[in-house]
Chains A and B, each alone.
Chain A
Amino acid sequence: MFFFTYLRRELRRRMRQATFIALGLALGIGLVVTVTAASAGVKKAQSQVLKSLYGVGTDITVTGKAPKPPSPGSLPAKGSQTFAIGPGGAQVCTNGKCHNAAGQKIDHLESDSYSPISQSAVAAIARLKHVKAAAGGLALSDTSITIPKNFGKPSGSLPTPNSFNVQGTDTSKLSLGPLSAGTITAGSSLRGSDASSDVAVVDSGYAKSHKLKVGSTVRIVGQSFTVIGIVAQPQSGSPPQVYIPLARAQALGKAMGKSMKNDVNTIYVSATSAADIPAVQHEIKSIVPGDAVTSASSLASQVTGSLSSTAKLANDLGRWLSILVLIAAFAVASLLTMAAVARRVREFGTLKALGWSSWRIITQVMAESLTVGIIGGAAGVGLGFAGAAIITAVAPKLTATIAPATGQHLVTAGPAGSQSFSPTATHTVAVPMSASVTVAALVAAVVLAVAGGLLAGSFGSWRIARLRPADALARIA
C-alpha cells in the first residue's frame, strides 16, 4: 500500500533521527515501567509482611492495650509470681510468700504484650453488619528458666531464660489469624475437634532447631502437647513458634498473674469488602475502646526500616524522575519532528500542488510519529523488563520493623519494693525485594508510547496545517 510504503521509506531516510527519538521515548517509558515494577514489588513485600503478621484473609486486627507497668515501689499483682535476687540468693514469691528458688524451674506462659480482651467482644464484633467473620486469639510467650542449685554463690550465675511464642488459635475459624498464612508441610493442621486437646502445630524453623517432628512432644508450662503438624510460614514472617487450641491457651496462660479463661488478647476480623474496612474499624473501636484496632493500611504506616524507605523512594523519587525523563523525551521528539517537517516543506508543498489535502499529509506525518512512538514504547517495555530483572537480581533483602506500643516488662523485688522496666519489643522481618512488571505498567507504556507519538506528530501537523502551498513552492523556485 502506498501509505505504508511512503511511511517506511521516510522513516528509513531519517533513520538516525527516528532512532534517537525512539530511544528517548524508550528511556522514559522504560523508567516508568521499572519504577512501577519496583513499586509493585515493594507493595507485594509490604503485603507479605502484613500477611505474615496477621494471616491471609484478616482485614482488621484488634490487640489489647499495653499493660501498665507497675509503678516503682508498688506491690506485685495478686497471683503473679515474682523472681527476686537478694542477699539470700534467688527467691520466688507468690502473693507475698517466698521460697528459695535454687534448683527450681520457673515456667510462665504470659500475655506480656497485650492486655486481655473479653471473649464476648469477639461475638459482638462478629455480629457487626459488614463483618464476615471474627476470631479470637492469644499471643503468649512461654518463658522458662532453671535456677542452678549453686545460684547466689560465687561460682553460680543466672542462666539465659528459654523463651518461645505460643499462639492460642480458634480451631473453628482457621481462615483467620497467623496460622492461615502458613502451609502445612508435615502432618495436619489443628481441627475443630481439637478445641480441648493438648495438640500443637509447630513452625518449621522452630521444629528444625529443636529437632521436632510429627509425634514429638513440646512442653508448655509443664504441660505436654503432641505435635500433630509442621507449618511453614512466608519467608518474610516472624511467626509464632507453637500453635495450640485457644481453649488450652486460655486455661494455661496468665496476664499479670490472673487467669485468661474467657479472655483473648487479639481478635482477627474479616470484612465483607475492602470498602467496608474503615467503617468496621470505627464500629469495633466503640466495642473495645482503648484497644488497638489496626487494618493492613494503618499497620503499613507503622512499618519502618529499609522496606519503608524503599517504598518512599519508589513512590516519590522514582515517580518524579520518570515524569521528568518522559517530559524531556516528549519535548525532544516534538522538536525533532517539527524540524523534520520544516525540512520537508518543499515535499509537502508539492503534494498539495498534486491535490493532497492538508489532512492527508497530516495523517502521513502523524503515522510516522506514531510508528516511532510505538517502536520507542516497545523498546521501553523491554528496558523496563530488564530493569525489573536487574532489581530482582541485585537488590538486597529489605527489612521491615514494627514497634508495637507494648512490650515485655520485667519486675524485680528489692529493698525499695518492686521495680519494673519495659524494653520496647520490636518486630523485624527480612523481606526479599522483587520487581515484577504489572499489566497496569504495560498498559501505561502503550498509552505513553501512543501519546508521545501523537504529541510529536501534532506539532509537525500544526505546521503543515498552516503551510500555504504558494509559500512552500516559492521556496522551491
Chain B
Amino acid sequence: MYQLTDVTKLYAKGRRAVPAVRDLTLAIEDGQWLAVQGRTGHGKSTLLNLLGGLDRPTSGTIEFDGKDLARLGEDQVTRLRAQSIGFIFQTFNLVPTLSAAENVEAALIPLRVRTAERRSRVNAALDSVGLADRARHLPGEMSGGQQQRAAIARALVKEPTVLLADEPTGNLDEDTRDEIINLLEKLWRQRGLTLVLVTHDTAIAQRAQRVGVMSKGLLSVRPAGRRGTPVP
C-alpha cells in the first residue's frame, strides 16, 4: 500500500531549515495496523500529513498504490484523499454547525454521491459506530466519545482503504478511550483497513501489529507486543 523511500521534510524557521522527518524509509502493507509513538514535536503528525497527502516531502518518494504522492497534482491528491483516505483527529474536528449525520455526509460531498445513496450510507455509518440515535444532534450536544464516534463514521463512510488517526483518544477519559480503541480495532478487522495510528499511549500502541517510534524525525519500527501479529 505505502512505500516511503528516503523521505525528508524540512520546515523553514527563519534562515534555518528544521527537519521534521529525516531519511524515512517505510513500507506499510495492505490491512496492516501501524502505531506511531514519540514525543511531541518529533514528527509524528508530519508523517501522518505526508501519508495523507496533506503535505509534500522536501525529498524522497511516497508511493501509495503505486502512485508517488509527491508528484501528483493538487487536484489528484485531493481526489485520492476523498476516495481512499480517512482521517480522525484528536479534537474530533466536527463542523460545529452541522449535525452528526451532516458531518458524516460532508465526507461524501466530493464524491458526488446521489442524495438517496448518501442518506443510506450515512445512516449505515452512524449505525456501525452506535450513533444512529444521535444523527440529528449537533457536536455541542454530544459527549467527547460520541463526537469521536461521529468522526470515525465520517472517516469510514466513504469506504476508504486507509485510516489515519492522529491521537484519536487524546481528549477522552479512560473508559471512553477504551471504547474508541475497541471500536477502531473492530472496524479495522471487519473492513481490512490499513490503519496508521499516532498515540502517546503505549497500551494502545501495543494493540497494533507494528509500533514505530519517531525521535527527532527518525523512525524506527518493530513488531508490536503481545496482541500484535508479528510482521516480517
Contact = CB atoms under 8 A, between A and B. Distances in A.
Contacts of A12: 97
Given A2-B106, A360-B109, A473-B89, A355 B95 contact: no
Nearest to A471: B55
B93 A350 contact: yes
Contacts of B90: 476-477
Nearest to A8: B97
Contacts of A13: 96-97
Given A9-B98, A477-B166, A469 B93 contact: no
B95 A352 contact: no
A13 B140 CA distance: 13
Nearest to B52: A353
A2 B78 contact: no
A354 B154 contact: yes
B45 A10 contact: no
Contacts of A352: 54, 78, 81
Contacts of A6: 95, 97-98, 102
Interface string B97-121: 1100010011101110001000000
B83 interface: yes
Interface residues of A, number: 27
B78 to A, nearest CB: 5
A354 B158 CA distance: 10
Contact of A360 (B49, B95, B105, B110): B110
B211 to A, nearest CB: 20
Interface residues of B, number: 35
A274 interface: no
B183 interface: no
A276 interface: no
Contacts of B128: none
B98 A355 contact: no
B81 A347 contact: no
User: Which of B105, B110, B115 is most buried by chain A, counting CB atoms within 10 A of its CB?
Assistant: B110
A341 to B, nearest CB: 14
B75 A357 contact: yes
Given A2-B109, A469-B54, A355 B91 contact: no
Contacts of B79: 355
Given A347-B93, A352-B81, 16 more contacts: A2-B102, A2-B106, A5-B98, A6-B102, A10-B97, A13-B97, A347-B96, A350-B87, A354-B106, A355-B79, A356-B78, A468-B54, A468-B55, A469-B49, A470-B46, A474-B45
A240 to B, nearest CB: 72
A355 B89 contact: no
A292 interface: no
A355 B82 CA distance: 4
A350 to B, nearest CB: 4
Contact of B87 (A9, A353, A356): A353
A220 to B, nearest CB: 84
Interface of A, secondary structure class, is helix
A347 B55 CA distance: 17
A9 B110 CA distance: 20
Nearest to A351: B106
A314 B111 CA distance: 55
A346 interface: yes
Interface in B51-85: 52, 54-55, 74-75, 78-79, 81-83, 85
A301 B165 CA distance: 77
A9 B49 contact: no
Contact of A354 (B74, B91, B102, B110): B110
14 contacts: A2-B105, A2-B106, A347-B93, A347-B95, A353-B54, A354-B81, A355-B79, A355-B111, A357-B78, A360-B109, A360-B110, A477-B89, A477-B90, A477-B167
Contacts of A347: 93, 95-96
A346 B82 contact: no
Contacts of A354: 81-82, 87, 106-107, 110, 154
B110 A346 contact: no
A2 B96 CA distance: 15
Interface string A439-477: 000000000000000000000000000001110011011
Given A9-B98, A469-B54, A355 B78 contact: yes
B89 A9 contact: no
The 7 closest A-B pairs by CB, nearest first: A355-B82, A9-B97, A470-B55, A350-B93, A355-B110, A469-B54, A355-B81
A356 B54 contact: no
Nearest to A360: B110
Contacts of B74: 358
Nearest to B110: A355
B55 A353 contact: no
Interface in A285-324: none
Contact of A356 (B45, B46, B98, B109): B109
B70 to A, nearest CB: 14
Nearest to A14: B97
A355 B83 contact: yes
Contacts of B54: 352-353, 468-470, 473
A215 B166 CA distance: 103
Contact of B95 (A350, A358, A469, A473): A350
B172 to A, nearest CB: 16
A350 B75 contact: no
Contacts of A2: 102, 105-106, 109
